[in-house]
Structure 1
Amino acid sequence: MLLYKQKKHQGPKGNRLLISINVLGSAGPIRFVVNEEQHVADVIDTALKSYAREGRLPVLGSDLNDFLLYCPSAGSDALSPWETIGSQGARNFMLCKKPRSEKMEDDGRSNEATTRKGTGNWKAWINKSLNLKISSH
């Protein structure tokens, strides 16, 4: 007589997806399997842990609140941390650090020297990088 092992409960029901997350400045994408019902915040957390475990560069840190996840096929807006990863119908994503906010000096004026240049828009960064490479040839 054969005994069958019961499958362990694997969280909420739903399809599993193999996703790829590109990190700006990193050599290649991170790939892992997620449940389509997982929240974007959980996916960012998993991506950061996987990235660190693999010893990738540049070092990103581990605070998921410092990052935004973009779906290149859905436009230039970052995904909400509370939406599900499967809601976009995509499997390729881009992980970017959030732009630093302007710091205020004691008298209330913004300190322009401490702000990051640019808008933090990853598409603008890629276009600028491509234009520099093309113009240097």
Structure 2
Amino acid sequence: MLSKQKKNQGDKRNRLLVSVTVMGSAGPIRFVVHEEELVANVIDQVLKCYAREGRLPVLGSKPDNFVLYSPIAGTEALSPADTIGSFGVRNFMLCKKPGLDKAIEQDAAPKMTRKSSGSWKTWFNKSLNLKISSH
């Protein structure tokens, strides 16, 4: 019992219940962080919670691809080196970095190979030949 009391007395850092809304997701993610926690670490925690809960759309796991916004900061993204408690708010919004969507789409776009394009064409031609020959 004494060890628990000493442990609680030794940790005098304030904790915050933060709510982070992810763009495109159904609802906010809520969790407790220390107010001295860096914004970069909070982004990482949000991505881990989001993935663990199996939410959609799938975001990925690279914190460098995302920015965190605060209602007080307006349209300026929070610096990853700032502490989360320095803003005086508990509600945030997580978004992908601007211009990143196009790069991800280009990388994720399926590339048609000659073999795959030939196979569907062959199937299409065979299906047409079957219909024509049945006259």
Shift of 1:74: 2.1
- The aligned residue for residue 49 of structure 1 is 48
Gaps of 5+ in 1: 104-113, 115-137
Cα distance in 2, alignment partners of residues 94 and 73 from structure 1 = 11
Offset from partner CA, 1:39-91 (integer Å, 9 cap, x none): 00000000000000000000000000000000022211000000000110000
- The aligned residue for residue 3 of structure 2 is 5
SS at match of 1:73: coil
Moved over 3 A (4+): none
Shift of 1:99: 1.5
SS at match of 2:72: helix
- The aligned residue for residue 107 of structure 1 is none
- The aligned residue for residue 70 of structure 1 is 69
- Match of 1:84, as an amino acid? T
- The aligned residue for residue 85 of structure 2 is 86
- Match of 1:28, as an amino acid? G
Cα distance in 2, alignment partners of residues 38 and 20 from structure 1 = 14
Gaps of 5+ in 2: 107-135
- The aligned residue for residue 22 of structure 1 is 21
Which has the larger share of helix? 2
Cα distance in 2, alignment partners of residues 72 and 62 from structure 1 = 24
- The aligned residue for residue 35 of structure 1 is 34
Cα distance in 1, alignment partners of residues 2 and 53 from structure 2 = 36
- 2:68 aligned with 1:95: no
